[in-house]
Amino acid sequence: MSGPDASRYKTDASVRVALGRRVEVIGDLLLPSEPSDSSRAVCRDITRRLEEWQGPGIVILCGRLVAPGCPEGGKREALDRHPELSDALAAFATRPDSKVIVVASPDDDAEVVRTMARRGVSVRDEVELHCVGASPGAVGRRAPTAD
């Protein structure tokens, strides 16, 4: 993102991903202000995956959480009317060694983004994933063994 709004949110784009850590990237949810069968199904699917997720991990939502063309005030309502999803994301964000990150697009309403941030979700303009090992130079080395 460039221009005057280039740093609306957290500017550190780097996200360290430990070896073996699960990452799920979800893009363009496009939730309507009035829930549809399709939006409910998508929310149930994501909620189920988060509830069944074993161990630590990272979930990244890549912008456009709400469908364009929602009426005035409808963008916040779109999120409020899909509580199963927002509750599941908030619960996942509070788990040890887990996080939820929203990469905000210019289309995302500021109130929607603030609502997500209040629920423990990190909001950023961009994300760069960096896979990291246990320690530098550890790859390919064996630990010494006792005789």
Q: What is the pLDDT of residue 9?
A: 63
Percent of the chain with pLDDT over 90: 43
Q: Is the pLDDT of residue 88 over 90?
A: yes
pLDDT in tens, 10-68: 667 889 998 888 999 999 999 998 999 999 999 999 999 999 999 999 999 997 888 88
- Who has greater pLDDT, 122 or 146? 122
Structural domains in the chain, CATH included, are 14-132 (3.40.50)
Stated pTM of the model? 0.79
3-state secondary structure the chain: CCCCCCCCCECCCEEEEECCCEEEEEECCCECCCCCHHHHHHHHHHHHHHHHCCCCEEEEEECCCECCCCCCCHHHHHHHCCHHHHHHHHHHHCCCCEEEEEECCCCCCHHHHHHHHHCCCEEECCCEEEEECCCCCCCCCCCCCCC
